[in-house]
Structure 1
Amino acid sequence: MQGGATGIGYGLKYQARCISDVKADTDHTSFLTGTLSLKEENEVHLLRLSSGGNELICEGLFSHPNEIWDLASCPFDQRIFSTVFSSGETYGAAVWQFPELYGELSSPQLESIASLDGHTGKIRCVLWWPTGRHEKIVSVDEQNLTLWNLDTSKKTAQVQSQESAGMLSYLNGGAWDPHDFNTISLTCDSSVQFWDLRTMRKTDSIEHAHVRNVDYNMKKRYMLVTAEEESGIHIWDLRKLKFPVADLPGHSHWTWNVKCNPEYEGLILSAGTDSAVNLWLALPPTPNDSGHESLIESTNRTVEPLLNSFNDYEDSVYGLAWSFREPWMFASLSYDGRVVVESIKPYLSRK
């Protein structure tokens, strides 16, 4: 099913790749996004959906010194967020705080909470403890993962532990398990690795090529979704990792990003380099008492429950974020700096 240009748009001045829901803002539907300009001063935009739900308003515009490759909002304080950035061949990561907002602010100074120093490789992402006020974060570079104790009041970050994933692993991202806070998944070119943060050891892996992104099903334990460049989207049961329990065809070009809805079971967003965002309904099978799937006879049978394809874009779509406050809303970001917020309410009746 194809959709027209129905979303609420907002244009950034420069190219961009990352957007995050501001989960800690319980009064507004808010998103945070940052630009990726090589030559210009980069910007972080705080966007809020208007009370009427028909306009995206920039509540804050903040100057950022470097190209932003990853951005994540703090789950317990709406003014705090992290970025991964680069200047030439040098990569870094930091936790920031923006000032109290009184209407729109134009390029005020961001306050540095902590710099995540000590990485030897190119930093890929920063992962926040999934929920609640728990000041632990994980940073991931090409070879290592580092667990930090963050103290936002004292503005410090101390390394609790660090471990190498090995020279054969080229890490590029990850996700924190919302059902087991001791577990994170790390993606690399040829696999998904599962790590126990208590021991800082790899416990298992999915050997699958060209994994671009991974996300956990927040409503169903043991369910993981992967986005893979050419083979689309796979849904996995973490208790049996040999084969996916369901496949989705993904996009006509590379499938780049995938996000599970935080409230509605089985709703998945995907974004790709075909300039589209797809909405899927994919309820994974539930094994019966005999251990066999009750809904899908074969673990690798392909299904295509495509609810809608949103085509409000003219460039590759890299950024996706569901709203936790209004889980029927999501924001997407294309490389040319176009932010679009859409509602999926028309498709909820089909669940």
Structure 2
Amino acid sequence: MQGGSTGIVYGGLKYQARCIADVCADPDNTSFLAGTLSLKEENEVHLIRVSPSGTELVCEGLFYHPNEIWDLKSCPFDSRIFSTVFTSGETYGASIWEIPELYGQSNSPQLEKLFSLQELSSKIKCVLWWPRGKHDKLISIDEGNIFLWSIDSSNKTAKVISQESIGMLHSLSGGSWDPHDRNAVATICDSSLQCWDLRTMKKTTSIDNIHFRDVDYNPKMQHIIVTADDEFGIRIWDIRKPKFHLDEFPGHVHWTWAVRYNPEYDGLILTAGTDSAVNLWLASPAGSNDSIPESLSDYAARQNDPLLHSYNDYEDSVYGVAWSCREPSIFASLSYDGRVVVESVKSFLQTPKEPF
């Protein structure tokens, strides 16, 4: 099913951008953070909120960031804290920031740097927060290593608890932290997906000989992950049986760059691609419709197509996409030209009417 964008647009980002994150710890607002990627200009982090009427996107805060942002995550237990991975063009780093409490009363509020992740030996790719709530650990992934950090936001400190190197033959590019098990993380590299036990920092399983671009855990079903890869597009796996995938979809016309499970509606998956599109999919990880809400199962039966909708009203590649935890029927996407679009999928959560 094809279609253009019917969402609300925020065009306040002046520079190129690829990072957007849901502010999941905000109980009162549907809000997102977006960060820019300009080598020569002063970069910015935008705090964007959906208006109470749901008809416009409002910039609630605009903050200067010293370097171009390649990864941005919001803290799951404090709406004013977030992490960035950045580069000055030659060196890479990662820091944890706090939005000032009175940010709405200043013309140019300054972010407070709580701490930096200092002991990084190579090009850092991402920072992971455990998604289930307050946890005093962080994970950082660079090209060759996984670091587990102990953090103390109140004392502004972070120290490495453990580290594991994956060896010279691989280059890590990202990962996802298991929401069902704080001791499990999945990482992706140029030729495999690897699952790790953080207690021992040892590999527990792997899916080999595939170039993965992104991975996400199913928040409703343990052991189930979804991946985006160059060859097959989107595939769903049970990591206890890594030799065979459970399901697969064709992905995007070009690279499928990002994939995200909906936080509430099991079976709903978003993907973003360099073909300037965001796709909404309906999947059944267990191979049946048992776990899918009845209205979505109805819809899938009538459509006979896992692709529910393609949002293709973009002029550039889409690298960033994020579901809202507060309103799981809403997602935000960010194209490389700095355009943020917020869409609702409520129409797919309602049982379609019988045709005349």
Q: TM-score range, shorter-chain basis?
A: over 0.9
- Other-structure match for 1:220: 221
Give, in whole Å, the separation in 2 of the partners of 1:134 and 1:333: 28
- The percent of aligned pairs where both chains have the same amino acid is 68
Change (3 A) 1:182 1:7: same
Alignment of 1:2 onto 2:5: no
Match runs of 1:100-139 below 5 Å: 100-101=101-102, 103=104, 105-139=106-140
Give, in whole Å, the separation in 2 of the partners of 1:22 and 1:48: 9
Q: Is the 8 A contact 1:313 1:334 kept in 2?
A: yes
- Other-structure match for 1:338: 339
- Other-structure match for 1:47: 48
SS of equivalent residue, structure 2 residue 347: helix
Question: Which amino acid is the alignment partner of residue 317 of structure 1?
Answer: V
Residues 168-177 or 204-213, more deviating: 204-213
User: Which ranges of structure 1 fall in alignment gaps of 5 or more residues?
Assistant: 288-302
- Other-structure match for 1:181: 182
Measured after TM superposition, the shift of residue 284 of structure 1 is 1.9
- Other-structure match for 1:296: none
SS of equivalent residue, structure 1 residue 83: strand
SS of equivalent residue, structure 1 residue 318: strand
Give, in whole Å, the separation in 1 of the partners of 2:106 and 2:234: 40
Alignment of 1:80 onto 2:88: no
- Other-structure match for 2:234: 233
- Other-structure match for 2:291: none
SS of equivalent residue, structure 1 residue 107: coil
Residues 206-215 or 324-333, more deviating: 206-215
Cα RMSD, aligned residues only: 1.4
TM-score, length basis structure 1 = 0.93
Q: Is the 8 A contact 1:15 1:37 kept in 2?
A: yes
Give, in whole Å, the separation in 1 of the partners of 2:308 and 2:106: 38
Give, in whole Å, the separation in 1 of the partners of 2:57 and 2:309: 22
Measured after TM superposition, the shift of residue 88 of structure 1 is 1.5
Q: Is the 8 A contact 1:16 1:334 kept in 2?
A: yes
SS of equivalent residue, structure 2 residue 235: strand
Give, in whole Å, the separation in 2 of the partners of 1:57 and 1:155: 31
- Other-structure match for 1:285: 286
Give, in whole Å, the separation in 2 of the partners of 1:304 and 1:144: 40
Match runs of 1:9-20 below 5 Å: 9-11=9-11, 12-20=13-21
SS of equivalent residue, structure 1 residue 33: strand
> What are the superposed Cα offsets for residues 235-269 of structure 1, whole Å, 9 maximum, x if unpaired?
00112110111001111111110000000010000
Give, in whole Å, the separation in 1 of the partners of 2:124 and 2:30: 29
Give, in whole Å, the separation in 1 of the partners of 2:256 and 2:287: 26
Q: Is the 8 A contact 2:61 2:103 kept in 1?
A: no
Give, in whole Å, the separation in 2 of the partners of 1:173 and 1:157: 21
Q: Is the 8 A contact 1:248 1:304 kept in 2?
A: no
Measured after TM superposition, the shift of residue 230 of structure 1 is 3.7
Question: Which amino acid is the alignment partner of residue 265 of structure 1?
Answer: D
- Other-structure match for 2:27: 26
> What are the superposed Cα offsets for residues 142-172 of structure 1, whole Å, 9 maximum, x if unpaired?
0001111110000110111111011112000
- Other-structure match for 2:314: 313
Give, in whole Å, the separation in 2 of the partners of 1:168 and 1:102: 46
Alignment of 1:276 onto 2:277: yes
Match runs of 1:233-272 below 5 Å: 233-272=234-273
Change (3 A) 1:337 1:115: same
> What are the superposed Cα offsets for residues 102-140 of structure 1, whole Å, 9 maximum, x if unpaired?
647543111011100111110000000222211210000
- Other-structure match for 2:64: 63
SS of equivalent residue, structure 2 residue 108: strand
Residues 204-213 or 97-106, more deviating: 97-106
Question: Which amino acid is the alignment partner of residue 329 of structure 1?
Answer: I
Give, in whole Å, the separation in 2 of the partners of 1:42 and 1:224: 33
Question: Which amino acid is the alignment partner of residue 69 of structure 1?
Answer: W
Give, in whole Å, the separation in 1 of the partners of 2:69 and 2:305: 34
User: Which ranges of structure 2 fall in alignment gaps of 5 or more residues?
Assistant: 289-303
Give, in whole Å, the separation in 1 of the partners of 2:216 and 2:95: 23
Measured after TM superposition, the shift of residue 350 of structure 1 is 5.3
Give, in whole Å, the separation in 2 of the partners of 1:186 and 1:106: 40
Question: Which amino acid is the alignment partner of residue 63 of structure 1?
Answer: Y
Measured after TM superposition, the shift of residue 208 of structure 1 is 3.8
Change (3 A) 1:273 1:350: farther
Give, in whole Å, the separation in 2 of the partners of 1:106 and 1:176: 37
- Other-structure match for 1:193: 194
SS of equivalent residue, structure 2 residue 114: strand
Measured after TM superposition, the shift of residue 42 of structure 1 is 0.1
Q: Is the 8 A contact 1:230 1:255 kept in 2?
A: no
Give, in whole Å, the separation in 2 of the partners of 1:18 and 1:177: 21
Measured after TM superposition, the shift of residue 349 of structure 1 is 2.5
Give, in whole Å, the separation in 2 of the partners of 1:70 and 1:137: 14
Question: Which amino acid is the alignment partner of residue 245 of structure 1?
Answer: L
Alignment of 1:95 onto 2:96: yes
